[in-house]
Each structure stands twice: as C-alpha cells, then as structure tokens.
Amino acid sequence: MSGPDSYAAVMQRREQILLAATGLDYAEFERRGCFSYEALMASVGLGLDQVRAIQRASGVGDTPLVELSNITKLVRARAAPGKGARIFVKDEAANPSGSFKDRRASISAYYARERGYEGLIAATSGNYGAGLASQAARYGLRSIVIQEAFDGVGRGQPEILEKGRKCEALGAEVLQTTVGPELFFMLLLTLEQTGYFNASLYTPFSIAGVETLGVEIAEQTRRRTGRDPALVLATHAGGGMVTGTARGLRAGGAAATGMVGVSVDLRGLHMASDRDFNRKSFTTGHTGFSVPFTGWPDRVDVPRNAARPLRYLDRFVTVTQGEVFFATELLARTEGLERGPAGNISLAAAIPLAAELDADEVVVISETEYTGAGKSPVPQLTFAREIGVELVNGDAALEEPGVRIALPISIESLRVGELRLDDLRSSYVQRAIRQEAGVSVESLVEETGWDPVRVGDELAGQMIDS
C-alpha cells in the first residue's frame, strides 16, 4: 500500500498526529539532556483535590478497603509464631466499569471535553477500554477502542473478547486487529481521521487519575488500622498502577510504605509472536509487558511515558499463572469475592509476603476488578487446554509458560520470584546512552534512583563494554 494512508506515510506524521491528539508539546519537557518529568506531570494543571472532585462527580473512586480476614487467618495458621500481616484489598471493582482504569480514563475524558474534542480513542486490550467507554458516556463523548485481539488464524483470547463486549456495552466502537505493528498504525490513522483525543494510558492525565488511589489507600488504612501499610502490592504491566499509586501514597503521607510490583512470570513467551500471543492466560500484568516497560518506559504511543516505575518500585516480584488461578478461587471461596484476574495477581504474592511480616503489620493489594464470561478460571483454562497447554496439579516449579500450567493445591505452595531492579536500572542506562544524545547524569539519577556515583560507575562500565 502506498499513498498518504500507507504505514510508512502515517508513521512519518506520527509527531504531528500525536500533538494534535493530546495538545501536549513534549519538546517543552526536554532541557539540556534532562527530561523534566515533574514538569510533564504538572502540565495536567489540576491539583489532587481537583482530581478527586472530578472523579467523584463521575462516580469514580472512594472505593471500599476490604479486609481479607479469612485469608489472613489461613496465612497466620501456617506462618511462624507472631507472623502474618493483616491483608486488605482496595475493591476497585466498585468503579463504574469495574476496575481502577476508570481513574485513568476520568481525567482524560474531563480534559477532552474541556478542550472541545468530540471523542476519545485508546489502543488497549485490557480493562482500560471499558473505563474509557464508561467515562466518555458520562461526559457525552464518543469513544473508539482499538484492541489487539486475534492471532493469525483468528482465535481470540477469552479475556480480550470479554473486554471487547464490555466496551461495546458501554457505547464504544471497537476495532480489533491481529497481533503485530498494525495496532499503533491503526491508532495513529484513526486519531488523524477523527480528530479525537488520544486517551493513552501513558499520558500525565492518566497517571494523575491513579494518584487518588494511593491517597485513598493511605487514608483508609490509617483510619482502619491506625498505621500506614508496610507494603502495597500493585499488579505491574505498563507501569501506570505502580507509578500513580506510589505518587499518591507519598502525597498521602505514606512515604515509608514499600511499593511492590507483581507480574505473572511469562518469560520465554514473546508478546509480539503470533504463536505465543494466545499461549498465555493473562492479557496484562505479566513480564511480557512489565520487564520491557520497566527497563525502558518510552516504548509507547506518546513521546514520553508518564508511567515510570523505576522511580517508584522498592521490589519487583513474580508469580505463576497457576498461582493466580489458585488465588482467584481462594478469594471467592473464603471471602465471598468473585473478582477478575488482575488484582488476584497481587493477591497471589501478598499471601507469601504477608507470612514474612509481623502480625501487627498491614499489607494492601491495590485493586480488584470485575469478573465476567471470559475472565474467570474455567474459560481461561479451557482455552489453554484447547490450544495444547498442559494442565497439572502441583508446585509452581512445574510450570512452563506456553507449555504447562501448574495449579497449586494449598497456600503453602505459594511463593514469589524476584526480579532484580538493579538489572533493569542498568538496562535503562544502556538504552538511554544509545537513544538519547547527551543524556545527563542528573536525568539518569532521577530515572533510576541510583546516586550520582553509582550512575557514574554504570556509565563508565558501559562505555568500556561498548
């Protein structure tokens, strides 16, 4: 295909399209080799109280903090004496579309209406599409959701198809693609043709909307327990949940709370591979997104990603697919909460981590999400078996992504893997040297959390290696 709508031609117009579709000139946030992240976030032009008021007016936020007392009892029964922190979960399924993504969509929808855009567009296969459609409806705007939904033979993963139905029910037009580069091409072309707002997950508007979640966790935990959480666990994919929640915790005075990112371990599967696309049971919150986005966040549909998890993560852990299915069933059968898979990724990690902490400490899982026809364990596991993935009962060590899912039979089997943040920081520095001419030590210090001496040592080591 040639002409103005060809892939090459549209990609050449990328910067102009994105500028028109967000109203943000990202060049304003670059100063002498240093990216001014706080200036980008300040461009939202709204204080935290204003964001909370906007969300409250559209039915978003102020969700319950629910204590998982039965799961806590199970943990304490198996933990060492005096161990077993109280476990709470922020029930984000209470938001209008059923997930925390309503927080991200709310400020984009508000901004778009205030600036005269007629509609919103986002490229997402996750809950964000439903959040976008819901908030667009509240503001009288149109919405288009572009989903990477199918492999090369037209098979759709149950959870993605479920989310597509949810988006349509809330009034969105859903455009579906196969796995590959056409997703971003279709986003750009549709933005240009419609003149709608690019309600990307990675704009500062999106991250500002999540900050209220962190503030609410700090305030509600303090009221319920008289203390701040020792740990907040956030399911980690593109980094928006980690970034926004951590910023909100700090704004809410809980600066000492540890921020733990949790991902499903799908190492060995390539997310851009047509073969591997459906050989996973989780469409988000897995290492196929979280590892590359942590080591280099600017691989997104805007020039600079406002979700920058390396700035905020204190620990990065993994769980297996089978462990998340177990946690999902445990939550339903012991606490009476049937919830979708994303928040249960963090729940699977919270159980072994709570067992390490003193009994007077508090662990908070940052979200739940709605469940539905394609999101519960039965359709997911049925689909996995149909495409040749083996299902077994047993220890997580038996699991091999894309080949075998191991379903635990007791909470004693749950554990976490560790991903070294310093390895990801080193990867970030290496990429920055290669892609950003004249990147400053100051910028690298801010992005990695390392002190200037450590950054200097890393720079020297990478120059020797090259």
Encode pLDDT of 85-117 as tens digits. Answer: 999 999 999 999 999 999 999 999 999 999 999
Q: Is residue 2 over pLDDT 80?
A: no
The answer to whether residues 438 and 320 belong to one domain is: no
Task: Please tell me the distance from the alpha carbon of residue 156 to that of residue 22, in angstroms, as a whole number.
Answer: 31
Give 221's contacts (C-beta < 8 A, 6+ positions apart): 65, 88, 227, 228, 229, 254, 362, 364
Q: What is the mean pLDDT of the chain?
A: 94
Task: Please tell me the distance from the alpha carbon of residue 185 to that of residue 183, in angstroms, as a whole number.
Answer: 5
Quickly state the pLDDT bin for 433 (edges 50, 70, 90). Answer: confident
Taking CA atoms, 245 is separated from 147, 185, 287, 349, in Å, by 26, 31, 19, 18
400: which strand partners? 404
The answer to whether residues 263 and 318 touch, using CB atoms and an 8 Å cutoff, is yes
Encode pLDDT of 43-64 as tens digits. Answer: 999 999 999 999 999 999 999 9
Q: Report the SS3 class of residue 5.
A: coil
Residues spanned by the domain of 362: 57-97+205-418
- Which is more confidently placed, 301 or 425? 425
Least confident segment among 159-163, 271-275, 329-333: 271-275
Q: What is the DSSP string of 292-359?
A: HHHH----SSSSS-S--GGGT-SEEEEE-HHHHHHHHHHHHHHH-----HHHHHHHHHHHHHHHHSBT
The answer to whether residues 219 and 275 belong to one domain is: yes
- Strand residues in 56-192 grouped as ranges (E): 65-67, 86-90, 119-123, 142-150, 173-178
Final residue before a domain boundary, out of 203, 218, 241: 203
Q: Is residue 215 over pLDDT 90?
A: yes
For residue 349 the two structure tokens come to 């990690």
Residue 2 domain-assigned? no
Mean pLDDT of 316-333: 97
Domain count of the chain? 3
Residue 211 domain-assigned? yes
The answer to whether residues 349 and 218 belong to one domain is: yes
The answer to whether residues 212 and 48 touch, using CB atoms and an 8 Å cutoff, is yes
The answer to whether residues 258 and 385 belong to one domain is: yes
